[in-house]
Structure 1
Amino acid sequence: MSTMNISLPDALKSFVDEQVSQRGYGTSSEYVRELIRKDQDRLQLRNLLLTGAASNPAQPADTSYFASLRDRVRKAAKPASKA
């Protein structure tokens, strides 16, 4: 694992220390890692949404679509018959 040193104004350091204490993190590093992971997740979701928005329109998800989907799930869930 690599290390990274950051400088924070006193007010931000106090905020981080408070979050570590109140949220049960062991260290400020754990808190910062969690913030970074959440930001990565947010960016990944944003990219997926933008990709979806830029894609060609799909067929409408109407009642027949969901009926077909339920049938496919039921068929996939059935155990294979023994010969």
Structure 2
Amino acid sequence: MRSTQQMSITLPVEMAKRVKQRVSNGDYASESEVIREGLRALQERENAVEHWLRTEVAATYDAYKADPTKAKPLDEVWKRLEARMDEIDREED
């Protein structure tokens, strides 16, 4: 039984050019390899987001639910964020 399946895909012209360029530069042996690598990168990104949601976001939510008094009001957070952004802007000038 085959472990691959042939497909026909349609890409925007600019994406198709990038795929062909990666092959012509010698980065990949075939257009299929470029697409496979792109799909692997997409899967890695999805896994990273899933991990972040399950660990950091869930833990933060659980901590909030356990003790909502430790949460900061949104307007306070925005004020602190705006003050920090102003500070960064002044440092850049």
What TM-score, normalized to structure 2?
0.53
Per-residue CA deviation, residues 37-81 of structure 1 (Å, 9 max, x unaligned), is 011011001100110120345xxxxxxxxxxxxxxxxxxxxxxxx
Letter in 1 for 2:16: K
Q: 1:34 aligns with which of 25, 34, 37?
A: 37
2: CA distance, partners of 1:10 / 1:45: 30
- Structure 2: which 5+ runs fail to align? 64-93
- Per the alignment, residue 15 of structure 2 pairs with 12
RMSD between aligned alpha carbons?
1.7
Any runs of at least 4 consecutive aligned residues in structure 1 with deviations exceeding 3 A, and if so which?
Answer: none
More contact order relative to length (CA 8 Å, sep ≥ 6): 1
Per-residue CA deviation, residues 5-31 of structure 1 (Å, 9 max, x unaligned), is 101243332221012222520100000
Report sequence identity in percent: 30
